[in-house]
């Protein structure tokens, strides 16, 4: 083949002309919104090229393309869904484009029955760490702060929260999805416990009082999910000095990893010196605790979070002999919680969530000549996958493994007697759930969870469903229902390993209004309980004739109003719950309202920021109606009610600086008026000569208490 | 025949060079337009322009960066709360996109910090608590990746300036930071053409107000 230079030249010229003298192909049109109003400032361009323009005053655009090939026209404009269309430059008529309003998450329906969520930046914050610390009657304890929300109450003598008539162990606590099997510090009989973890470890709190998703199992009543931050924000050293102890922590941040270490020593001697109390301490509670956290980014989207917490505590107390069969109790606790989670995007459609948690708790109690060793070790592992293939459907699936090892040792040095008991159980579960958004206003969630126990060789399937309908921009209705199973407590299982799961059904109806930093929320619920553990108090063993013959119900109304808007620098909320519940369980001869339930609970919380003195003041009032108790002098079981309890608490946080370092001075006073709170009555074991059992009221060991703390951040 | 191939190759290269030239021309045009902004509409047009370039050049971080930067400025300039949030929402998407391909670029982390500052400005009572730590973390990371970048120091100084003295803020603490930033601006050389250079003039203005109060 012989190509002459002339031919090549002409080819080249054609090519060059083709490039340079190409005709201009025009694409023009205008951009409107759904109502037909022209949109000014929209970005209109041909995908993958530099050709584009911004719409003018009348919403019009005009593009010049040098090619008449088919192209993709893109319109992007803030507040609207991005728009794409195929065009033939020069051949199409003027294009009329209608943009759809972007569905703001705030305006879109969210399944919310049973759930309080906080920390999500796009939604109204219901509760965060600072809220917990500054809620007057919380004393900086997460569970106490939660008791100022509807559906919950705090059992004064144990310090634990009760959710909608469920026993305190029916609430599960998770940290980043990993189960914490001993969420409270161990406490002496009839003295309140606190949550083991400081609220400042967390940047989000999800609290569900019922109807929760299939992701969660082994909790009959409630789920508390605490979320830790990713990479810590700052490199900082903090010092805390309180009348309950002192601590030091250091956090270090790098762009792709971070760690924090913390040590705390607690001694309640100064606290009891300031408090009004009737406790006869032999050794005031003392504890050491250490905390370590590590964060690392893996690849583009992966993150490994590791948290480890160890604590040791000890205390010893003399109990009044007119109320208790024992006089001296000493308690030593050792607890280790360690968890690691790894979450990553596998692709833009799949998210992987995995984790392992280990929790070992030992309570050693010495009561007179008796020594008890109670050891619970749990291992929890989870593997979950979330799929986001379609914009309107989210699928969640996964499986969990839960191992429990419980060992109980009883020794009586006087009678030279020793018993050793234990159980070992393995639970396997799997869940699958789909969130379906049918329209912008209507969403549904269907799921199920299978749970298998190797100890009892039982397998149960728990279906869950919920629906939500958004009435307008600010309000929505939701309903939720589901079946929930929970393994019997280790203290029962060690006597009878064949106990079945306890079972609850939830039915919840919810209405919520949120607008302009104001929230109104109401829930009506009904729950049925079945297969609850029953027993008779044994002569030799603690529990005899253990079986799943119990049942019961709980129903009620919760009301909640929070207003962050009306009064300047002021946040207040009102929470009211009414509950009607009865159970035949434990050793109850008939169905009765359990002794930890009070029918009416009202809490008012008021917080105000005073700029002039850079301080926040918080006050709270709470009322709980009388709790049932059993009077052995009466023939009817649980037929009497204690009187109602009132509490007024306050706290004050002053923000300042010491040597230029950010400092908070915090003073919190519980039970300002020093009112006596009666929780129940304790009766003598045997009647006296006229045949009556003598009673002593079980009152709070402390009345007015004061916590003072100084927190300094050095960075 | 040889000539033919040679010409074809030359042609091929010229097209390629053309693409590179296009990008450079576009950046040049965008940046010079940015200096001649008259109105809010001009800001919108520039943000749109850089966004278009960022879509056409997915491997370059600068167009997304500048589009995000202008969106943050728009959030400061507009009055309507919803509009401000919308501009910031757009900026966030663009910043994350830029970050995806250039995680170690100090300037992108700086801009993310500025984005958080803008969010705090919307409602300091609520967002202050949520985002002030995050903004600080971004500036921290920005300095980690480039200790000579004056912008994170300058932006942090602005935060300190607007923080009341009781919380460790105030002029007394901010002015030495402006001074440090200003010093760094004089030595700062952008790594490559079109790399960010903004902030020096505004920093000088802040510094001036510092010396004025000192004289009083």
pLDDT of residue A655: 87
CA distances to A143, A180, A543 from A627, in Å: 20, 29, 25
Q: Is A92 a residue whose pLDDT tops 80? A: no
Number of domains within chain B: 2
Is B160 a member of any domain? yes
A475-486 and A115-118 beta bridge pairing = unpaired
- Pair (A92, A199) in one structural domain: no
Number of domains within chain A: 2
A433 min Cα distance to partner chain B (Å) = 29
- Pair (A345, A433) in one structural domain: yes
Q: In what order do the strands lie in the sheet with A43-46?
A: A52-54, A43-46, A71-76, A83-87
Is B126 a member of any domain? yes
| CATH code, domain carrying A461 | 2.40.170.20
- Pair (A53, A164) in one structural domain: no
List the beta bridge partners of residue A607: A571, A618
Residue from A145, A182, A295 nearest A232 by CA: A295
What integer best gives the mean pLDDT of chain A? 89
A216 min Cα distance to partner chain B (Å) = 28
Residue from the list B53, B86, B103 with its beta carbon closest to the beta carbon of A79: B86
pLDDT single digits (tens) A127-162: 666 777 788 888 888 999 888 889 999 998 899 999
| Residue B20 burial by Cβ neighbours in a 10 Å radius (0-12, 13-18, 19+) | exposed
Interface contact A255-B109, CB threshold 8 A: yes
- Pair (A30, A166) in one structural domain: no
- Pair (A388, A292) in one structural domain: yes
> Mean pLDDT, to the nearest integer, of A103-123?
56
- Pair (B42, B115) in one structural domain: no
Give contacts of B81 with chain A, Cβ < 8 Å: none
Residue B144 structural domain: 104-216
Q: Which residues of chain B have pLDDT under 70?
A: 1-21, 213-216
A640-641 and A628-629 beta bridge pairing = antiparallel
What is the rounded CA–CA span in Å between residue B187 and residue B196?
Answer: 14
- Pair (B50, B115) in one structural domain: no
Q: Domain ends where: A98, A124, A151? A: A98
- Name the helix (H) or strand (E) containing A20: helix A5-20
Q: Domain ends where: B60, B77, B102? A: B102
**DSSP labels, chain B:** -HHHHHHHHHHHHHHHHHHHHHHHHHHHHHHHHHHT--SHHHHHHHHHHHHHHHHH-TT-SHHHHHHHHHHHHHHHH---HHHHHHHHHHHHHHHHHHHHH-TT-HHHHHHHHHHHHHHHHH-HHHHHHHHHHHHHHHHHHHHHH-TT-HHHHHHHHHHHHHS-GGGT-SHHHHHHHHHHHHHHHHH---SSTT---TTHHHHHHHHHHHHHHHH-
- Pair (B118, B199) in one structural domain: yes
Q: Domain ends where: A98, A128, A144? A: A98
Interface contact A233-B134, CB threshold 8 A: yes
Is B2 a member of any domain? no
- Pair (A457, A523) in one structural domain: yes
| CATH code, domain carrying A29 | 2.60.40.4130
- Pair (A26, A154) in one structural domain: no
Residue of A nearest to B103 (CA): A300
Residue A62 structural domain: 18-98
- Pair (A85, A169) in one structural domain: no
Is A256 a member of any domain? yes
Q: For chain A, what percent of residues have pLDDT higher than 90?
A: 60
> Mean pLDDT, to the nearest integer, of A405-423?
90
A475-486 and A502-515 beta bridge pairing = antiparallel
Which tokens go with A68?
């008449």
B20 min Cα distance to partner chain A (Å) = 12
CB B33 within 8 A of CB B42: yes
List the beta bridge partners of residue A576: A559, A602
Is A9 a member of any domain? no
- Pair (B159, B184) in one structural domain: yes
Residue from B46, B18, B21, B20 nearest B32 by CA: B46
> Mean pLDDT, to the nearest integer, of A571-597?
95
Q: Domain ends where: B68, B84, B102? A: B102
Interface contact A662-B87, CB threshold 8 A: no
Best of B168, B169, B170, B174 to mutate (most A CBs within 10 Å, chain A): B168
Interface contact B49-A52, CB threshold 8 A: yes
- Pair (A388, A506) in one structural domain: yes
- Pair (A176, A64) in one structural domain: no
Give contacts of B136 with chain A, Cβ < 8 Å: 233-234
Give contacts of B47 with chain A, Cβ < 8 Å: 43
Q: A482 by DSSP, 3-state: which?
A: strand
- Pair (B118, B161) in one structural domain: yes
Is B6 a member of any domain? no
| Residue A225 burial by Cβ neighbours in a 10 Å radius (0-12, 13-18, 19+) | buried
Interface contact A8-B133, CB threshold 8 A: no
Q: ipTM, 2 decimals?
A: 0.81
Q: How many CB pairs (< 8 A) connect A and B? A: 91
pLDDT single digits (tens) A637-683: 999 999 999 999 999 999 888 887 889 999 999 999 999 999 999 88
Residue of B nearest to A3 (CA): B1
Numbered residues of chain A with Cβ closer than 8 Å to any chain B Cβ: 1, 3, 5, 8, 12, 15, 40-41, 43, 45, 47-52, 54, 74, 76, 78-79, 121, 125, 128, 130, 231-235, 253-255, 300, 569, 609, 614, 655-657, 660-662
């Amino acid at each position: 083949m012989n190509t002459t230079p002339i031919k090549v030249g002409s080819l080249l010229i054609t090519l060059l002309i083709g490039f340079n003298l190409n005709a201009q192909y025009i694409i023009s049109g205008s951009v409107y919104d759904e109502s037909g109003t022209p949109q000014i400032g929209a970005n209109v361009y041909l995908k993958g090229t530099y050709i584009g323009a911004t719409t003018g005053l009348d919403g019009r655009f005009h593009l010049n393309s040098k090619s008449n090939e088919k192209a993709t026209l893109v319109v992007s404009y803030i507040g609207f869904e991005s728009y794409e269309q195929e065009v033939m430059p020069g051949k199409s008529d003027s294009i009329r484009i209608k943009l759809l309003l972007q569905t703001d998450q705030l305006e879109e329906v969210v399944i919310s029955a049973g759930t309080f969520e906080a920390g999500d930046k796009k939604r109204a914050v219901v509760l965060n760490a600072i809220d917990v610390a500054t809620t007057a009657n919380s004393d900086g304890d997460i569970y106490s702060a939660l008791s100022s929300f509807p559906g919950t109450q705090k059992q004064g003598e144990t310090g634990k929260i009760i959710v909608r008539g469920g026993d305190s162990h029916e609430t599960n606590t998770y940290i980043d999805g990993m189960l914490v099997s001993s969420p409270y510090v161990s406490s002496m009989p009839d003295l309140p416990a606190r949550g083991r973890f400081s609220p400042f470890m967390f940047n989000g709190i999800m609290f569900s009082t019922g109807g929760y998703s299939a992701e969660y199992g082994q909790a009959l009543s409630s789920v508390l999910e605490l979320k830790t931050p990713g990479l810590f924000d700052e490199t900082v050293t903090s010092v805390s000095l309180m009348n309950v102890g002192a601590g030091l922590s250091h956090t270090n941040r790098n762009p792709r990893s971070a760690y924090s270490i913390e040590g705390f020593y607690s001694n309640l001697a100064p606290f009891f010196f300031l408090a009004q109390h009737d406790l006869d301490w032999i050794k005031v509670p003392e504890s050491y605790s250490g905390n370590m956290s590590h964060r690392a980014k893996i690849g583009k989207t992966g993150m490994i979070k590791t948290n480890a917490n160890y604590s040791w505590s000890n205390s010893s107390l003399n109990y009044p002999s007119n109320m208790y069969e024992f006089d001296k109790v000493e308690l030593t606790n050792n607890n280790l919680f360690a968890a690691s989670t790894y979450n990553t995007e596998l692709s833009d459609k799949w998210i992987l969530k995995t984790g392992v948690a280990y929790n070992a708790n030992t309570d050693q109690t010495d009561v007179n000549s008796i020594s008890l060793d109670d050891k619970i070790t749990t291992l929890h592992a989870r593997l979950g996958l979330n799929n986001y293939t379609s914009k309107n459907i989210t699928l969640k699936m996964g499986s969990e493994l839960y191992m429990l090892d419980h060992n109980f040792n009883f020794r009586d040095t006087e009678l030279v007697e020793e018993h050793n008991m234990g159980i070992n159980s393995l639970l396997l579960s799997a869940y699958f759930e789909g969130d379906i958004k049918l329209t912008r206003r209507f969403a549904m969630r269907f799921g199920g969870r299978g749970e298998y126990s190797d100890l009892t060789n039982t397998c149960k399937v728990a279906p869950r469903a919920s629906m939500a309908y958004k009435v307008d921009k600010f309000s929505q209705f939701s309903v939720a229902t589901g079946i929930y199973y929970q393994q019997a407590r280790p203290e029962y299982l060690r006597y009878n390993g064949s106990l079945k799961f306890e079972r609850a059904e939830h039915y919840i109806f919810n209405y919520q209004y949120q607008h302009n930093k104001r929230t109104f929320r109401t829930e009506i619920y009904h729950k049925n309980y079945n297969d609850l553990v029953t027993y008779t108090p044994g002569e030799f063993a603690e529990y005899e004739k253990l079986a799943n013959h119990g049942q019961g119900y709980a129903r009620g109304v919760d009301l909640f109003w929070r207003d962050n808007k009306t009064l300047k620098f002021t946040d207040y909320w009102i929470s009211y719950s009414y509950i009607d519940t009865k159970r035949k369980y434990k050793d109850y001869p008939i169905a009765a309202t359990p002794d930890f339930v009070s029918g009416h609970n009202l809490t008012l919380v008021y917080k105000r920021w005073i700029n002039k003195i850079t301080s926040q003041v918080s006050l709270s009032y709470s009322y709980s109606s009388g709790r049932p108790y059993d009077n052995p002098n009466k023939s009817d079981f649980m037929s009497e009610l204690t009187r109602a309890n009132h509490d007024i608490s306050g706290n004050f946080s002053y923000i300042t600086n010491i040597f230029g370092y950010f400092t908070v001075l915090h003073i919190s006073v519980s039970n300002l008026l020093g009112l006596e709170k009666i929780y129940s009555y304790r009766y003598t074991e045997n009647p006296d000569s006229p045949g009556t059992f003598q009673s002593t009221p079980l009152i709070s060991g402390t009345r007015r208490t004061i916590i003072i703390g100084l927190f300094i951040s050095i960075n | 025949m040889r000539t033919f191939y040679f010409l074809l190759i030359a042609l091929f290269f010229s097209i390629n060079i053309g693409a590179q030239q296009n990008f450079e021309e576009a950046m040049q045009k965008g940046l010079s337009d940015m200096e001649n902004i008259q109105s809010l509409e001009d800001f919108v047009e520039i943000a749109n322009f850089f966004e278009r370039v960022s879509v056409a050049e997915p491997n370059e971080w600068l167009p997304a960066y500048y589009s995000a930067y202008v969106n943050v400025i728009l959030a400061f300039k507009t009055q309507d709360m919803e509009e401000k949030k919308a501009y910031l929402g757009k900026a966030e998407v663009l910043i994350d996109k830029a970050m995806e391909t250039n995680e170690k670029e100090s300037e992108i982390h700086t801009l993310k910090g500025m984005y958080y500052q803008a969010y705090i400005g919307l409602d300091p009572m609520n967002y202050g608590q949520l985002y002030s730590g995050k903004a600080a973390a971004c500036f921290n990371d920005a300095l980690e990746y480039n200790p000579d970048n004056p912008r994170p120091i300058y932006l942090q100084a602005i935060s300190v300036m607007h923080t009341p003295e009781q919380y460790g803020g105030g002029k007394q603490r901010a002015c030495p930071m402006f001074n440090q930033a200003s010093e760094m601006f004089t030595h700062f050389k952008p790594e490559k053409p079109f790399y960010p250079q903004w902030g020096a003039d505004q920093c000088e203005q802040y510094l001036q107000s510092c010396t004025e109060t000192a004289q009083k």
